[in-house]
Amino acid sequence: MASKIEKEPKYIPEMAQSEIDELNKSIKAASIKVIEDNIERMKKTWKNRPKAMEYFDEISNLFGKRAKELEEQKAAGKKIIGYSCIFAPIELILAADAIPVRVGSGWYDTAKLGDRIMPVEICPVIRSTVGAKMVSLSPYLELSDAIVIPLTCDGRTKLSEMLSDFKPIWYMNPPRVKDDTHTLDMWKKEILVIKEKIEKLTGNKITRQKLKEAIEKMQQATKAFRRLQELRKGAPVINGRDAMLVNQTSLWDDIERWTQKVNELCDELEKRVEQKDYSSYPDTPRVMITGTPMIWPDSWKVPNLIEESNPQGVVVVDEQCSSDRILYDPVGVDEWNMSDMLNAISERYIMACTCPCFTSEHGNEDRINWIIDRIKEYKVDGVIYYVVRGCILYAMEYARIKKVLDKMGIPVYYLDTEYTREDVGQMKTRVEAFLEMLEARIDI
């Protein structure tokens, strides 16, 4: 009896191949249109957009150049390891000569498919990822040989079960409390287990030298990322949407090439700082976004609204695992021996993370400190607290963050939404009212 149950898909309903093909075709076409439309809108707002952005525009096509490269590399024998969340240790994947790629979905249309098997109360990131699998939409998900799913929230826990009918799923259990020795020990063991799984899948042993090279590669990426972030601290020389796109493409691009392209972009931008060639007026209200990850392309709805609003705002920094949190902290190694490197990796992926899945007796202090520091460094005028329906972790931490921001005198606006385009008009009114208020405060 048990074996019969195991053979049947656990959640995903059977669909006729013709329906899958039809939906795949129509959603893919709609998605390419959204990608093109987003890029056009970014170009329209920032007329003198740097040449170096063209590369990131190209890589942003989820069905384009990068997907093709991955197909070819897979055909040549490389293993592709998908991951659903930034707790997955990228350096270990790279050290085994495999390719890491993030597989969470930002497609609104596939969230509707997920609704066939999940109530709408479930976070749309999960509904959309499952919906994408139902119609084989995501090239990165389809090409993955295994998927790392950190069990950080209830949605992700059940997502792992749903996807396990199609792909080997490697669970990771991040502790909910960071500052306990025993929970850190447990996390270190999780890292070792994943290392073994990666080695087994790829057939490649992660040697000291290979791991050192992988760490150094990611450190270079972090350096380029920080160079770009540094440029966002002054008068705007890059719009927030463009910087967010650059950051997010690091999740699926070849990381060495990405690093080189970010440095080229920074070369261009640094010249513009000297020439005072800004992407928007220097006194444009400076906005920080915090909250649920905004996944390309459909979730650009919010940064589009902020940067196209009248009055306009510019996103100078965010606290999101889909952008500024991805590469902010490098793995810091003292001694380049295996044990130190593995310890450094396990610490980096847990201690540096400000995800609201953590708690402590002082609340999720690291997130609060991160937000406070960035507000000061980037001279933020106001914060948009973005939450998609069903994301309980971010929704619940709002009251705590608001209290802190109120004390600092920083206005914060709670912007709740869904994976839908239907609320754009209503959101536009809300965002404009917030930016008007920020502008009035700047003028005083």
Q: Which stretch binds ligand SF4 (CB under 6 A): 64-72, 214-222, 389-397, 416-424?
A: 389-397
Q: How far is the CB of 157 from ligand SF4 (least distance, A)?
A: 9
CA distance 117 to 10: 11
Q: Which is nearer to ligand SF4, 341 or 387 (CB)?
A: 387
Residue with the two structure tokens 């949407």: 241
Per-residue x/- track, 70-89, ligand SF4 (CB under 6 A): ---------------xx---
Q: Which amino acid is at 292?
A: T
- In eight-state DSSP terms, residue 299 is G
Q: Which stretch binds ligand SF4 (CB under 6 A): 147-155, 207-215, 226-234, 255-263?
A: 147-155
Q: How far is the CB of 150 from ligand SF4 (least distance, A)?
A: 6
- Applying CB under 6 A, among 295, 357, 405, 410 the residue interacting with ligand SF4 is 357
Buried-state track 137-156, b at ≥16 Cβ within 10 A, e below 16: bbbbbbbbbbbbbbbbbebb
Q: How far is the CB of 207 from ligand SF4 (least distance, A)?
A: 29
Q: How far is the CB of 169 from ligand SF4 (least distance, A)?
A: 15
Answer yes or no whether residue 110 interacts with ligand SF4 by CB under 6 A.
no
- Applying CB under 6 A, among 34, 81, 118, 125 the residue interacting with ligand SF4 is 125
Ordered alpha helix ranges (H), 203-315: 208-231, 240-249, 255-275, 301-308
CA angle 125, 131, 137 (to 5 degrees): 105
Q: Which is nearer to ligand SF4, 124 or 382 (CB)?
A: 124
Q: Which is nearer to ligand SF4, 262 or 355 (CB)?
A: 355
Answer yes or no whether residue 153 interacts with ligand SF4 by CB under 6 A.
yes
Q: How far is the CB of 126 from ligand SF4 (least distance, A)?
A: 6
Q: Which is nearer to ligand SF4, 85 or 306 (CB)?
A: 85
- In eight-state DSSP terms, residue 291 is E
- Applying CB under 6 A, among 106, 131, 139, 155 the residue interacting with ligand SF4 is 155
Q: Which is nearer to ligand SF4, 28 or 102 (CB)?
A: 102
- Do residues 63 and 27 lie in contact, with contact meaning Cβ atoms separated by under 8 Å? no
Answer yes or no whether residue 393 interacts with ligand SF4 by CB under 6 A.
yes
Q: How far is the CB of 72 from ligand SF4 (least distance, A)?
A: 29
Residue with the two structure tokens 């608001």: 402
- Give phi and psi for 316, each to the nearest 5: -95, -20
Residue with the two structure tokens 């590669």: 217
Q: Which is nearer to ligand SF4, 229 or 290 (CB)?
A: 290
Q: Which is nearer to ligand SF4, 342 or 355 (CB)?
A: 355
Is residue 189 left, alpha or beta, with left meaning phi > 0 and alpha meaning psi from -120 to 50? alpha
Q: Which stretch binds ligand SF4 (CB under 6 A): 60-68, 262-270, 277-285, 386-394?
A: 386-394
Per-residue x/- track, 27-66, ligand SF4 (CB under 6 A): ----------------------------------------
Burial of residue 47 (CB within 10 Å: 0-12, 13-18, 19+) is exposed
Q: Which is nearer to ligand SF4, 62 or 435 (CB)?
A: 62
Nearest to 170 by CA among 184, 152, 185, 190: 190
Ordered alpha helix ranges (H), 46-180: 53-59, 65-75, 90-95, 108-114, 124-134, 139-143, 154-163
- Do residues 2 and 156 lie in contact, with contact meaning Cβ atoms separated by under 8 Å? no
Answer yes or no whether residue 395 interacts with ligand SF4 by CB under 6 A.
no
CA distance 425 to 29: 24
Q: Which stretch binds ligand SF4 (CB under 6 A): 150-158, 218-226, 374-382, 421-429?
A: 150-158
- Applying CB under 6 A, among 112, 133, 156, 232 the residue interacting with ligand SF4 is 156
| 3-class state of residue 415 by DSSP | strand
Burial of residue 339 (CB within 10 Å: 0-12, 13-18, 19+) is exposed
Q: How far is the CB of 331 from ligand SF4 (least distance, A)?
A: 17
- Applying CB under 6 A, among 126, 237, 288, 380 the residue interacting with ligand SF4 is 126
Residues 286-345 that bind ligand SF4 (CB under 6 A): 292-293, 321
Half-sphere exposure of 86 (CA within 13 A, CB side): 24
Nearest to 195 by CA among 180, 181, 208, 213: 208
Give me the residues that bind ligand SF4 (CB under 6 A), please.
85-86, 123, 125-126, 152-153, 155-156, 292-293, 321, 355, 357, 390-391, 393-394
